[in-house]
């Protein structure tokens, strides 16, 4: 991880105060939370609407931090402890991350997209781990604060960093790309998430394409080639190495054969004919993520056999197409980490296709950040559910109720159940489930549908 003496940090940042008396103090690692301070950390305080982190600087030092940054606009920086006064602690954090990235003998893979970022990150990291020492974004550390912290936590012997890049508005992906300077970049797809902030799918595509701003001149840009908005956007960019993945045969790589079962997908590709890959992840849409990973793996010199190994041993971050067994023996697909219309349709399609289950149940909650058309998006999801493939639909939340409304256009009333109280939903599901069902849980992160799964386990 990042390790410097204060006198070295002073050469990396525009420092506003005299730190000569602390010049040889060693900083190791960075933290923004005094509750998680580790010995030697550099504490970075932020000024929020309700709390100013500067009031915790002394506490951070007492808890083991070696030094702290300090915003020069905040008066009375303490002089008896190692406080580094800078123009802006956030900008300083980002600058340190950028400089540390270039100090390491490191390749960076940047990943963004409306859906599938984390799954693709896991796939790429697992593939490249067959050959390299790989570090990847942990949790949701994918924004203007989290990504710099991820970079600064990289072990000094890291060979590849796989970095997820999230955003809510224009300019954010460009910033993350500039900080990390990727050697390869992926856009998984363009969906409807962030319509509330970006106004249209065209706006989302434009924002996601910012990932190429920091791409190395010889870097690989791989994107979902079946998306016309990305095709149009890429035409306006002057990129040296572009490859695509998707179902269409015009892509650099596409699947030529797919066989799915309850354990995952067996597939062949246009790039390695006759070679069968196994992806132990549910959902045909995840094959697209695997194809993106294969393009990156080829760029990094992996053989087909190494790619097979990397895919076969894959384990995803929790709550992403995670198959678990319920208390009564029911099969639960926990895909409750996030949701958009695109990913919701894909998950419902997966459940509809899986065989070996007499009763299939959907538990669907609100999809957030969809803007003015949010109710229409939810109702459309409900209308698309096939009553011949799905036996019961449970919804949760105000917007989830519109999924139920849409479903009622095709389902009888006794097969659609809508709730706004989580306790009532848990009670109803626990009474309904007998043990032979397949149950999908999916909603946006803010709905915390995993609490319903946990509630069922406790009943």
The CATH number corresponding to 3-88 among 3.40.1390.10, 3.90.470.10, 3.40.50.10210, 3.90.1150.170 equals: 3.40.1390.10
The CATH number corresponding to 322-458 among 1.10.10.10, 2.60.120.280, 3.90.190.20, 3.40.350.10 equals: 3.90.190.20
Distances (CA, A) of 195 to 119, 165, 199, 373: 22, 17, 5, 9
SS3 for 239?
A: coil
SS3 for 442?
A: strand
Would you state the pLDDT for residue 57?
96
DSSP for residue 292: H
pLDDT band, very low/low/confident/very high, at 194 (cuts 50, 70, 90): low
Distance CA 341, CA 413 (A): 23
Distance CA 201, CA 330 (A): 38
Mean pLDDT, the chain, rounded, equals: 93
Q: What percent of the chain has pLDDT over 90?
A: 77
The CA-based angle 239-243-246, given to 5 degrees, is 140
Would you state the pLDDT for residue 318?
66
Would you state the pLDDT for residue 163?
97
pLDDT per residue as tens digits for the range 83-124: 999 999 999 999 999 999 999 999 999 999 988 888 999 999
Q: How far is CA 427 from the centre of its chain?
A: 32
Better pLDDT: 346 or 57: 57
pLDDT (average), residues 329-333? 90
Whether the per-residue pLDDT at 444 is higher than 60: the answer is yes
pLDDT band, very low/low/confident/very high, at 282 (cuts 50, 70, 90): confident
User: In which region does residue 99 sit, left (phi positive, over 0), alpha (psi from -120 to 50) or beta (all else)?
Assistant: alpha
Would you state the pLDDT for residue 261?
83
pLDDT (average), residues 282-286? 84
Structural contact between residues 9 and 163, judged by C-beta atoms closer than 8 angstroms: no
Class of the CATH-defined domain 104-312 = alpha beta
Q: How far is CA 13 from the centre of its chain?
A: 30
Percent helix, strand and coil across the chain, each rounded to 5? 40, 20, 40
Beta-strand (E) ranges in 127-271?
134-136, 160-164, 184-187, 220-224, 242-245, 255-261, 264-269
* Residue 392, strand partner residues: 361
pLDDT per residue as tens digits for the range 220-260: 999 999 999 999 999 989 899 999 999 999 999 999 999 98
Whether the per-residue pLDDT at 47 is higher than 90: the answer is no
Structural contact between residues 135 and 160, judged by C-beta atoms closer than 8 angstroms: yes
Identify the H or E element spanning 71: strand 67-71
pLDDT (average), residues 284-310? 96
Identical fold at 3-88 and 322-458?
no
Whether the per-residue pLDDT at 292 is higher than 90: the answer is yes
Highest mean pLDDT among 194-198, 204-208, 261-265 belongs to: 204-208
Whether the per-residue pLDDT at 323 is higher than 90: the answer is no
Q: In degrees to the nearest 10, what's the CA dihedral of 362, 365, 368, 372?
A: 90
pLDDT band, very low/low/confident/very high, at 419 (cuts 50, 70, 90): very high
Q: What percent of the chain has pLDDT over 70?
A: 97
SS3 for 372?
A: helix
Cβ burial, residue 341 (10 Å; 0-12/13-18/19+): buried
Q: How many CB atoms lie within 10 A of CB 151?
A: 30
Better pLDDT: 316 or 12: 12
**Residue ranges of domains in the chain:** 3-88, 104-312, 322-458
pLDDT per residue as tens digits for the range 2-21: 999 999 999 999 999 999 99
* Residue 253, strand partner residues: 245
Distances (CA, A) of 8 to 20, 62, 170, 355: 11, 23, 34, 61
Would you state the pLDDT for residue 325?
83
Whether the per-residue pLDDT at 192 is higher than 80: the answer is no
pLDDT (average), residues 352-361? 90
pLDDT band, very low/low/confident/very high, at 139 (cuts 50, 70, 90): confident
Least confident span in 90-94, 189-193, 409-413: 189-193
Distance CA 302, CA 293 (A): 11
Cβ burial, residue 451 (10 Å; 0-12/13-18/19+): middle
Better pLDDT: 132 or 343: 132
- What are the φ and ψ backbone dihedral angles of 330, each rounded to 5 degrees? -65, 150
Would you state the pLDDT for residue 169?
87
pLDDT band, very low/low/confident/very high, at 458 (cuts 50, 70, 90): low
pLDDT (average), residues 48-67? 93
Would you state the pLDDT for residue 459?
52
């Amino acid at each position: 991880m990042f390790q410097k003496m204060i006198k070295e940090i002073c050469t990396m940042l525009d420092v506003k105060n005299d730190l000569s008396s602390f010049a040889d103090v060693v900083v190791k690692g960075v933290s923004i939370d005094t509750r998680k301070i580790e010995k030697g950390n550099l504490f970075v305080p932020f000024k929020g609407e309700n709390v100013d982190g500067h009031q915790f600087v002394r506490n951070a030092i007492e808890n083991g931090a070696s030094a702290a940054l300090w915003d020069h606009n905040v008066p009375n920086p303490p002089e008896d402890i190692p406080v580094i006064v800078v123009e802006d602690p956030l900008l300083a954090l980002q600058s340190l991350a950028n400089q540390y990235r270039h100090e390491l003998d490191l390749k960076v893979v940047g990943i963004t997209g409306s859906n599938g970022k984390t799954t693709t990150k896991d796939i790429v990291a697992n593939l490249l781990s067959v050959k390299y020492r790989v570090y990847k974004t942990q949790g949701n550390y994918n924004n203007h604060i989290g990504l710099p912290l991820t970079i600064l936590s990289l072990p000094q012997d890291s060979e590849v960093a796989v970095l997820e890049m999230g955003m809510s508005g224009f300019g954010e992906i460009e910033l993350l790309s500039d900080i990390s300077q990727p050697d390869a970049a992926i856009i998984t797809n363009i969906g409807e998430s962030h319509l509330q902030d970006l106004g249209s799918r065209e706006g989302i595509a434009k924002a996601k394409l910012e990932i190429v701003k920091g791409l190395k001149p010889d870097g690989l840009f791989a994107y979902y080639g079946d998306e016309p908005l990305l095709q149009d956007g890429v035409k306006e960019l002057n990129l040296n190495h572009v490859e695509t993945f998707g179902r269409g045969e015009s892509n650099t790589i596409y699947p030529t054969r797919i066989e799915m079962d309850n354990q995952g997908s067996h597939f062949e590709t246009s790039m390695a004919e006759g070679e069968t890959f196994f992806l132990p992840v549910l959902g045909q849409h995840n094959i697209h993520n695997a194809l993106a990973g294969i393009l990156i793996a080829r760029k990094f010199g992996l053989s087909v056999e190494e790619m097979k190994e990397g895919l076969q041993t894959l384990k995803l971050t929790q709550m992403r197409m995670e198959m678990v067994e319920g208390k009564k023996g029911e099969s639960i697909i926990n895909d409750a980490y996030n949701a958009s219309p695109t990913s919701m349709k894909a998950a419902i399609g997966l459940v509809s296709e899986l065989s070996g289950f007499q009763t299939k149940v959907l538990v669907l909650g609100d999809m957030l950040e969809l803007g003015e058309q949010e109710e229409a998006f939810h109702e459309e999801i409900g209308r698309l559910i096939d009553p011949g493939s799905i036996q019961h639909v449970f919804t949760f939340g105000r917007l989830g109720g519109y999924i139920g409304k849409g479903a009622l256009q095709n389902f009888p009333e006794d097969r659609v159940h809508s709730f706004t109280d989580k306790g009532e939903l848990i009670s109803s599901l626990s009474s309904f489930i007998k043990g032979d069902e397949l149950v999908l849980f999916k909603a946006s992160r803010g709905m915390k549908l995993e609490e319903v799964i946990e509630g069922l386990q406790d009943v």
